[in-house]
């Protein structure tokens, strides 16, 4: 591969993911001029401008080139794991029995609180490496397993440190409103006022947070409680996103659109009215097939309504130790198609163009002049091959910021 300052990839099948033309924005026999950390030119190879002819170049032999994959929804930083409850569940234990045995989110909170910053980073690195091995270049990482100020801030510091230790961009979301910790049992409002909001302010003051998220659900927080957190996010000029309508219809999506949320996520129980509000607000639908699969959910998100109303759909792993222990973007794409009937083009757009939108990024997720030089080169020829195979990784090379 040419050195990392400027070079041309030629004879490639380029899935630009731009809209309005060919499916996938596909350019056959294409060329891409990479200049530092930006893309200078993209098009049919025969049209490559003279100024690039002297640049280093490498023939891709017809391989598929896509934007680097973007996972816009992960809980990648956490302590411990939940294999025990997985086994208990499959041995017939019910949700209550598991909870009584200390399972669920609370068990991860305990393990995360007990971990040092370095231990949180060390535990997350192999999970991050799995994403990088599948061509990921940008990954969102949430807090939400600390539920006290010290550990929430540690989670966000760990997320920031991952981007120092690996060639990847990490975008952080504060998810203090994920669950009420044991010490505030039955006192959700007090937790929001005494821990969640002060911690959000501290995280913002320390430059640790890029967006604010919440879990709006019967087992978590009401729209009114999320609204209190989002009001502070707005005061701090932070964008918001929301886990909404995952297990029931509570009205979280509607609330999120009132804040022009970057995204509403899960959405199994969202309806056409929610989709219409999302379309008006420019809120991206983030589809999370890993949780649908792990929880053996049967309620499908309103994919057809999102299509009809032109709500952009992202797809993400929701990588977390409980409801979605999925650390493979390619597997998530396959699940989005096979379980949720998205098309392979929608699944790839979900991990590129629309994932960038869900993170508020304007210069990522597509292959076009001026965009970041984040690319993935695959040992396949058709874009549909990425979602088609189950548990097979055809990545040949990942380019992050122009460097291989």
| C-beta of 107 vs 149, nearer to ligand DI6 | 107
Q: Of residues 254, 297, 318, 346, which one binds Fe ion by CB under 5 A?
A: 318
290 binds, among ligand DI6, Fe ion, none (CB under 5 to 8 A by kind): none
To ligand DI6, the closest distance from the beta carbon of 355 in angstroms equals 18
DSSP 49-99: -GGGTTSEEEE-TT-EEEEPEEE-------SS--HHHHHHHHTT--HHHHH
291 binds, among Fe ion, ligand DI6, none (CB under 5 to 8 A by kind): ligand DI6
180 binds, among Fe ion, ligand DI6, none (CB under 5 to 8 A by kind): none
- Total number of residues binding ligand DI6 (CB under 6 A)? 11
Residues 374, 158: Cα–Cα separation, whole Å: 23
Q: DSSP character for 249?
A: -
Q: Of residues 16, 320, 334, 354, which one binds ligand DI6 by CB under 6 A?
A: 320
Q: Does 243 bind ligand DI6 (CB under 6 A)?
A: yes
| C-beta of 254 vs 318, nearer to Fe ion | 318
Q: Does 322 bind ligand DI6 (CB under 6 A)?
A: yes
Q: Does 105 bind ligand DI6 (CB under 6 A)?
A: yes
SS3 percent helix, strand, coil of the chain, rounded to 5, is 40, 20, 40
Q: Does 71 bind Fe ion (CB under 5 A)?
A: no
Please count the CA atoms within 13 angstroms of the CA of 184 that sit on its side-chain side: 18
Q: Does 143 bind ligand DI6 (CB under 6 A)?
A: no
The H or E element containing residue 232 is helix 223-235
Q: Which two tokens stand for residue 66?
A: 């896509």
71 binds, among Fe ion, ligand DI6, none (CB under 5 to 8 A by kind): none
Question: Is the CB of residue 358 less than 8 Å from the CB of residue 314?
Answer: yes
Determine phi and psi for 171, rounding to 5 degrees. Answer: -115, 130
The per-residue b/e assignment along 138-158, b for 16 or more CB within 10 angstroms, e otherwise, is bbbbbbbbbbbbebbbbbbbb
Q: Does 346 bind Fe ion (CB under 5 A)?
A: no
What separation, in Å, do the N-terminal and C-terminal C-alpha atoms of the chain show? 7
To Fe ion, the closest distance from the beta carbon of 301 in angstroms equals 14
Q: Does 291 bind ligand DI6 (CB under 6 A)?
A: yes
Q: Does 210 bind Fe ion (CB under 5 A)?
A: no
Q: Of residues 191, 215, 221, 378, which one binds ligand DI6 by CB under 6 A?
A: 215
32 binds, among ligand DI6, Fe ion, none (CB under 5 to 8 A by kind): none
Return residues touching ligand DI6 (CB under 6 A): 105, 108, 178, 215, 243, 246, 291, 320-323
């Amino acid at each position: 591969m040419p050195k990392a300052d400027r070079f041309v990839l030629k004879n490639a099948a380029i899935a630009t993911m731009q809209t309005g033309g060919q499916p996938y924005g596909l350019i056959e026999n294409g060329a891409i001029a990479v200049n530092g950390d930006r893309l200078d030119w993209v098009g049919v190879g025969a049209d490559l401008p003279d100024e690039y002819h002297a640049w280093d170049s490498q023939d891709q032999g017809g391989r598929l080139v896509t934007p680097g994959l973007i996972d816009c929804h992960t809980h990648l930083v956490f302590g411990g794991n939940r294999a025990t409850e997985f086994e208990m569940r499959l041995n017939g234990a019910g949700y209550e029995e598991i909870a009584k045995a200390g399972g669920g989110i609370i068990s991860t909170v305990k393990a995360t609180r007990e971990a040092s910053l370095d231990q949180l980073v060390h535990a997350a690195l192999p999970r991050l490496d799995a994403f990088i091995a599948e061509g990921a270049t940008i990954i969102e990482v949430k807090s939400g397993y600390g539920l006290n100020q010290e550990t929430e801030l540690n989670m966000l510091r760990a997320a920031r440190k991952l981007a120092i230790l690996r060639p990847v961009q990490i975008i952080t979301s504060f998810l203090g409103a994920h669950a009420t910790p044991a010490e505030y049992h039955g006192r959700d409002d007090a937790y929001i006022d005494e821990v969640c909001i002060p911690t959000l302010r501290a995280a913002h003051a320390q430059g640790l947070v890029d967006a604010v998220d919440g879990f709006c659900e019967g087992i978590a927080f009401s729209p009114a409680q999320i609204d209190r957190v989002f009001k502070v996010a707005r005061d701090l000029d932070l964008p918001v996103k929301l886990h909404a309508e995952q297990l029931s219809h509570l009205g979280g999506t509607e609330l999120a659109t009132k804040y022009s949320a970057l995204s509403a996520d899960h959405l199994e129980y969202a309806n056409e009215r929610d989709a219409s509000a999302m379309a008006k607000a420019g809120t991206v639908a983030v589809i999370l097939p890993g949780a649908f699969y792990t929880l053996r959910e049967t309620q499908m998100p309103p994919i057809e309504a999102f299509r009809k109303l032109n709500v952009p759909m992202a797809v993400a792993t929701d990588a977390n130790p409980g409801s979605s222990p999925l650390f493979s973007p390619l597997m998530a794409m396959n699940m989005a198609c096979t379980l949720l009937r998205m098309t392979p083009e929608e699944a790839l757009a979900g991990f590129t163009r629309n994932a960038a939108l869900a993170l508020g990024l304007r210069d990522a997720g597509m292959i076009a002049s001026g965009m970041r030089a984040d690319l993935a080169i695959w040992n396949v020829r058709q874009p549909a091959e990425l979602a088609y195979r189950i548990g097979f990784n055809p990545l040949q090379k990942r380019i992050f910021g122009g460097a291989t």
